[in-house]
Amino acid sequence: MDKRETSSQHCQTPSPLTSAGAAARLSLYCKDIDRWPRSWAVFPDLDVPVGERIAAEMKPFLLTLIAERRTKKTVKKYADYLWVLGGELIRRVLTDEKARKLPARTLILKHIDETGGPLWRHARDEQEHAVYDAVCRRFYLFLIGTES
């Protein structure tokens, strides 16, 4: 893997997470995010659709970081580690065919929690893995905080 997307009578202000400019805003920070699913794929016909669902769950988290006015460097760092997480999740569906059919949020929450993410086999050292785990923890808290 290399390192690196009712009508109403009342007028509503669009959320910064769902407005038409959200994709454009995200692409300023993560130019290749729409290519992540293909970069994770081992079997494109099977893995790309799963990867697209995973990436769709990651985008609101990254947009929230942008809305919090995190620096571009910080958002890119989070994106890099989310890309790693996506690759590890696809690796896991290769050995667990039932997981491939899970909703993306369920699949993600099956592998991340308050302690971090799944083992990242290619981390350079423990410190790099610790940063990855911290990003996974923050993503986990985001996901459980927005579940209905």
What are the start-end ranges of the H helices in the chain? 22-29, 36-40, 44-67, 72-95, 97-100, 104-111, 126-146
Out of 4-8, 53-57, 82-86, 141-145, least confident range: 4-8
Q: If you search the block for the tokens 């692409």, which residue do you land on? A: 27
Both tokens of 59, joined, read 């985008």
CA distance 5 to 141: 21
Q: What is the pLDDT of residues 90-141, one digit of tens each?
A: 999 999 989 999 999 999 999 999 999 999 999 999 999 999 999 999 999 9
Q: What is the mean pLDDT of the chain?
A: 87
Q: What is the pTM assigned to this prediction?
A: 0.83
Query: Which pLDDT score is estimated for 53?
Result: 98
